[in-house]
């Protein structure tokens, strides 16, 4: 308890010393280099509006009846974001970890702990309106970005597929007609960081423009063996054609490659005397692992053979056709390809070779008038991962499995939403979406520890899932700058197949129901912004993925429905602009979360001491009735007696009770006409569970981080030099974890970056 108070006090003290403007949408525009207040404060003395497309149309973030945070391009640059995991450093309620090459995104505890293509995300990630189906395909997009919108709560009506916890929308810059511009950036820093970025906008004719951009990053790893590095090369080309005022066509193509060693895990509890960033492959770490539990001596040493080789290729188009007063028609076809190979370790060596192809198309009709805003649409999604394989190796004594899988998903949806003004200043909201998904899987597990290899089990099947999600609510203008809204919305994530035999191979759909009240306000001649909201979520049939024993008693990655949870809380976002040169922002979020139902089962001979913090009961003999329904049945379908764990009452994993940011920005004019701007950001998070075993090693304590940037911009505004420091407090904290398969109580955890610093040079040419 004293530690919590010390951290809280430290957070408050640091908040007043080191803070950052741009924590959210309202301030990100204020720092945009195109904002004339940078050079002439008299031009813009209030808080600037941010235009978002969260509801499939352009509107001010202050007019959107939902909880939204927007990270602008300047804030992304200051935070040094090169991949999605960095978003949690500048937002609240967002936790992002890694499982191999897969990104695990959680908003308020709702998401997906994916380690293979069989587990779907619970937060929809969209790039320029295109849904990204695979968690290993979300990176490679963080350059030449206009903004990132983080929508909290189920977006089941307009975004649909796998948007239970919310949606993250990344919007890149669109080519501009008649403009010839170029931007170049170079960033160097500790851990051998070298990053080069650039973009060019070229007018081809009066109606055609092309924009190209690139991003090259090379940074050494934070972990002692060089893992958790960042090696990537990306490029994007966009062509915009406007043959008339009624028709616009945007074509996109991009490619990314991720190399180096890739991400890895560190052990918790930490080896006594060890650095937090000690790699599993270090001799001392291997000795620690082998001595940790009775099965430790049977596990082979972890080797320094991590690697990552991921290629992403994407093409898409967007056609917007203005049909006059009736509506605008939008067509958005897209193709995405991911090919990844990687090796990672968690007291077990996991190597994988996965290829995923995704095709999607969305068609919409919509219009907005003072009295009616509406949208109707249809969506099709087809994703395949043919002939993907992974090898899980602990030792030839314990486990050496080759897992082959070929999952397929086809999804169809029809949706619509309308906002109608019923009386002056009062509008009603109603929308719905019907989703139909067909899932198929074929695969097998082969034991490579014997010669010749032997088939352990074949798995697969075909099954369809459907669901109807909806949103209803009301919004009321107290004044032109004060909005109240109340909404009730639902989310749906289809079920699927796990890599084991029936009936345990089927997991059921996941659903979320959300009640939300909010208010958006501007006061004091647009110098003070106060937004607040309250929510209550009912989260049912939660899909989790964990290492467990399947019905044939093989150690396996099992996706299953763990139970239900209730979450409620509130958010408060305050932005103050006391002068034209000063911006202060405060954002805080409180979330009370608790599992109402959470059960799991483990065969009696394989239950390791210290592997669970939940209440245990049993044993239950084969064929006995269990106190819950799991793995497709409420009876013990395996050949061995099982122990049942009951985790009800625990705080939901990856949900801090308190999180927040406090930010400050100050512009100092320079005699030559240039400017120096100080930006700082403090992020605080209370303790949270890193995974779903609820053992002491998975409980990460409260932490606070501080970032600061000092930027000089020349009088012409086309050249800037910035000094930056991130995690100046040198805080050690973690973003996710996985309990090791054969050693109860030993956890492999994602560790966040240590203190980093460097310099960034940016040149902007043309206008």
Asked if the model's pLDDT at residue 247 lies above 50, the reply is: yes
> Is the Cβ–Cβ distance between 613 and 598 less than 8 Å?
no
pLDDT at 50 (0 to 100) = 85
> Is the Cβ–Cβ distance between 162 and 439 less than 8 Å?
no
Burial of 306 (0-12, 13-18, 19+ CB in 10 A): buried
Asked if the model's pLDDT at residue 31 lies above 80, the reply is: no
Domains and CATH numbers, the chain: 2-482+495-765 (2.40.170.20)
pLDDT at 609 (0 to 100) = 86
pLDDT in tens, 2-25: 333 333 333 333 333 333 333 333
pLDDT at 501 (0 to 100) = 84
Tokens of 127: 């790039």
Any idea what the Cα angle at residue 470 is, between residues 466 and 475, rounded to 5°?
Answer: 170
CA distance 512 to 96: 20
Tokens of 651: 């705080």
Of 546, 581, 580, 575, nearest to 560 by C-alpha is: 546
Q: How far is CA 222 from the centre of its chain?
A: 21
Asked if the model's pLDDT at residue 593 lies above 70, the reply is: yes
> Is the Cβ–Cβ distance between 134 and 338 less than 8 Å?
yes
CA distance 310 to 46: 45
The CA radius of gyration of the chain, in Å to the nearest whole number, is 26
The mean predicted confidence, pLDDT, of the chain is 89
Query: What H or E segment, with its residue span, contains residue 291?
Result: helix 283-292
**How far is the CA of 146 from the CAs of 12, 75, 434, in angstroms?**
31, 10, 31
pLDDT in tens, 512-524: 999 999 999 999 9
% of the chain beyond a pLDDT of 70: 93
CA distance 3 to 73: 36
CA distance 325 to 36: 35
> Is the Cβ–Cβ distance between 695 and 609 less than 8 Å?
no
Any idea what the Cα angle at residue 697 is, between residues 696 and 699, rounded to 5°?
Answer: 65
pTM: 0.89
**How far is the CA of 745 from the CAs of 240, 554, 575, 584, in angstroms?**
55, 20, 44, 43
> Is the Cβ–Cβ distance between 514 and 505 less than 8 Å?
no
pLDDT at 137 (0 to 100) = 83
Instruction: Count CB atoms within 10 A of the CB of residue 387.
Output: 12
CA distance 521 to 576: 12
Q: Name the residue with tokens 């994530």.
A: 493
Per-residue buried b or exposed e for 65-97, using 16+ beta carbons within 10 Å of the residue's own CB: bbbbbbbbbbbbbbbbbbbbbbbbbbbbbbbbb
β-bridge mates for residue 103, sequence order:
98
CA distance 578 to 12: 20
Which segments within 35-165 are labelled E, that is strand? 51-52, 59-60, 67-72, 94-99, 102-107, 110-111, 123-127, 130-132, 145-152
pLDDT at 119 (0 to 100) = 76
Q: Could you say which DSSP state residue 746 is in?
A: -
pLDDT at 603 (0 to 100) = 84
Q: How far is CA 391 from the centre of its chain?
A: 26
Q: Could you say which DSSP state residue 25 is in?
A: H
pLDDT in tens, 729-757: 999 999 999 999 899 999 999 999 999 99
pLDDT in tens, 296-336: 999 999 999 999 999 999 999 999 999 998 999 999 999 99
pLDDT at 387 (0 to 100) = 86
Task: Give SS3 for 77.
Answer: helix
pLDDT at 527 (0 to 100) = 95
End-to-end CA distance of the chain: 56
Asked if the model's pLDDT at residue 99 lies above 90, the reply is: no
Question: φ, ψ for residue 347 (rounded to 5)?
Answer: 60, 15
> Is the Cβ–Cβ distance between 129 and 58 less than 8 Å?
no
> Is the Cβ–Cβ distance between 157 and 489 less than 8 Å?
yes
pLDDT at 475 (0 to 100) = 96
Tokens of 69: 């945070």
For the ranges 211-215, 399-403, 639-643, 715-719, the lowest mean pLDDT is seen at 639-643
Place 632 in a pLDDT band, splitting at 50, 70 and 90.
low
Name residues whose C-beta falls within 8 Å of residue 671's C-beta, 6 or more positions apart in sequence. Answer: none
Of 751, 647, 747, 734, nearest to 697 by C-alpha is: 747
CA distance 675 to 93: 34
pLDDT at 633 (0 to 100) = 62
Asked if the model's pLDDT at residue 565 lies above 60, the reply is: yes
β-bridge mates for residue 72, sequence order:
147
Query: What H or E segment, with its residue span, contains residue 308?
Result: strand 307-322
**How far is the CA of 642 from the CAs of 599, 626, 629, in angstroms?**
12, 9, 14
Tokens of 118: 């069989």
Q: Name the residue with tokens 């345990």.
A: 504
pLDDT in tens, 279-303: 999 999 999 999 998 999 999 999 9
pLDDT in tens, 145-188: 999 999 999 998 888 788 888 999 999 999 999 999 999 999 99
Is the four-CA dihedral 335, 330, 146, 160 of positive or negative sign? Answer: negative
Tokens of 444: 């097998």
Of 5, 42, 35, nearest to 21 by C-alpha is: 35
CA distance 1 to 7: 10
Name residues whose C-beta falls within 8 Å of residue 662's C-beta, 6 or more positions apart in sequence. Answer: 15, 16, 19, 585, 586, 587, 681, 682
Of 594, 703, 422, 558, nearest to 116 by C-alpha is: 558
Beta strand pairing call for 426-447 and 399-423: antiparallel
Place 630 in a pLDDT band, splitting at 50, 70 and 90.
low
CA distance 401 to 230: 29
pLDDT in tens, 381-411: 999 999 899 999 999 999 999 999 999 999 9
Higher pLDDT, 252 or 621: 252
């Amino acid at each position: 308890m004293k530690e919590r108070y010390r951290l809280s006090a430290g957070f408050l003290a640091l908040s007043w010393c080191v803070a950052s403007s741009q924590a959210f949408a309202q301030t990100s525009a204020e720092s945009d280099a195109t904002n004339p207040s940078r050079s002439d404060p008299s031009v813009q003395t209030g808080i600037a509006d941010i235009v978002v497309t969260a509801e499939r149309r352009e509107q001010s973030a202050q007019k959107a009846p939902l909880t939204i945070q927007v990270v602008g391009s300047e804030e992304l640059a200051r935070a040094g974001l090169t991949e999605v995991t960095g978003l949690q450093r500048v937002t609240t309620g967002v936790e992002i970890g890694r499982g191999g090459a897969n990104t695990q995104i959680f908003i308020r505890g709702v998401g997906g702990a994916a380690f293979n293509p069989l587990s779907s995300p619970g937060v929809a990630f969209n790039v320029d309106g295109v849904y990204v189906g695979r968690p290993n395909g979300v990176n490679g997009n963080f350059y030449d970005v206009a903004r990132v919108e983080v929508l909290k709560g189920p977006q089941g009506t307009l975004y649909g597929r796998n948007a239970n916890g919310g949606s993250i929308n990344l919007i890149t810059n669109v080519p501009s007609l008649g403009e010839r511009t170029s931007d170049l950036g170079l960033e160097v820093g500790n851990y051998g960081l070298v990053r080069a970025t650039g973009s060019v906008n070229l007018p081809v004719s009066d109606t055609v423009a092309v924009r190209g951009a690139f991003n090259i990053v090379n940074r050494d790893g934070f972990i002692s063996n060089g893992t958790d590095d960042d090696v990537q090369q990306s490029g994007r080309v966009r062509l915009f054609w406007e043959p008339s005022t009624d028709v616009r066509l945007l074509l996109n193509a991009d490619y990314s490659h991720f190399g180096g060693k890739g991400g890895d895990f560190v052990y918790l509890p930490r080896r006594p005397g060890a650095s937090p960033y000690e790699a599993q492959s270090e001799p001392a770490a291997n000795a620690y692992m082998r001595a940790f539990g009775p099965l430790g001596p049977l596990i082979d040493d972890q080797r320094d053979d991590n690697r990552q080789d991921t290629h992403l290729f994407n093409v898409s188009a967007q056609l917007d056709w203005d049909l006059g007063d009736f509506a605008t028609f939008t067509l958005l076809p897209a193709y995405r390809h991911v090919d990844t190979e990687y090796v990672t370790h968690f007291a077990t060596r996991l190597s994988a070779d996965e290829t995923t192809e995704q095709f999607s198309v969305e068609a919409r009709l919509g219009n907005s008038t003072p009295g009616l805003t509406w949208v109707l649409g249809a969506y099709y999604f087809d994703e395949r991962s043919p002939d993907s394989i992974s090898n899980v190796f602990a030792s030839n004594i314990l486990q050496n499995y080759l897992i082959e899988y070929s999952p397929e998903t086809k999804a169809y949806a029809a949706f619509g939403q309308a906002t109608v003004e019923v009386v002056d200043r009062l509008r009603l909201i109603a929308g719905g979406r019907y989703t139909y998904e067909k899932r198929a899987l074929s695969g097998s597990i082969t034991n490579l520890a014997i010669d010749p290899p032997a088939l352990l089990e074949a798995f697969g099947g075909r099954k369809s899932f459907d669901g109807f999600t909806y949103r209803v609510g009301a919004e009321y203008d107290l004044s032109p700058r004060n909005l109240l809204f109340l909404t009730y919305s639902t989310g749906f994530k289809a079920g699927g197949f796990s890599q084991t035999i029936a009936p345990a191979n089927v997991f059921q759909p996941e659903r979320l129901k959300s009640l939300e009240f909010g208010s958006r306000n501007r006061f004091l001649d647009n110098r003070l912004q106060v937004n607040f909201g309250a929510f209550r979520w009912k989260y049912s049939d939660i899909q989790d993925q964990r290492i467990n024993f399947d019905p044939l008693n093989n150690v396996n990655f099992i996706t299953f429905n763990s139970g239900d949870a209730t979450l409620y809380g509130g958010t408060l976002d305050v932005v103050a602009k006391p002068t034209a040169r000063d911006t202060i922002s405060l954002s805080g979020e409180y979330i009370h979360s608790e599992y109402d139902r959470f059960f799991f089962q483990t065969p009696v001979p394989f239950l390791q001491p210290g592997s669970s913090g939940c209440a245990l009961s049993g044993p239950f003999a084969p064929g006995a009735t269990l106190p819950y329904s799991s793995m497709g049945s409420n009876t013990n379908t395996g050949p061995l007696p099982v122990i049942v764990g009951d985790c009800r009452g625990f705080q939901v994993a990856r949900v801090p009770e308190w999180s927040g940011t406090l930010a400050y920005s100050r512009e100092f004019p320079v005699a030559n006409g240039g400017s120096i701007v100080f930006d700082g950001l403090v992020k605080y998070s209370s303790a949270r569970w890193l995974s779903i075993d609820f053992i002491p090693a998975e409980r990460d304590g409260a932490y606070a981080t501080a970032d600061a940037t000092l930027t000089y911009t020349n009088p012409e505004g086309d050249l800037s030099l910035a000094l930056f420091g991130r995690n100046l407090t040198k805080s050690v904290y973690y973003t996710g974890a996985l309990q090791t398969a054969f050693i109860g109580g030993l956890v492999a955890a994602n560790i966040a970056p240590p203190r980093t610093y460097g310099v960034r040079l940016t040149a902007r040419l043309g206008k």
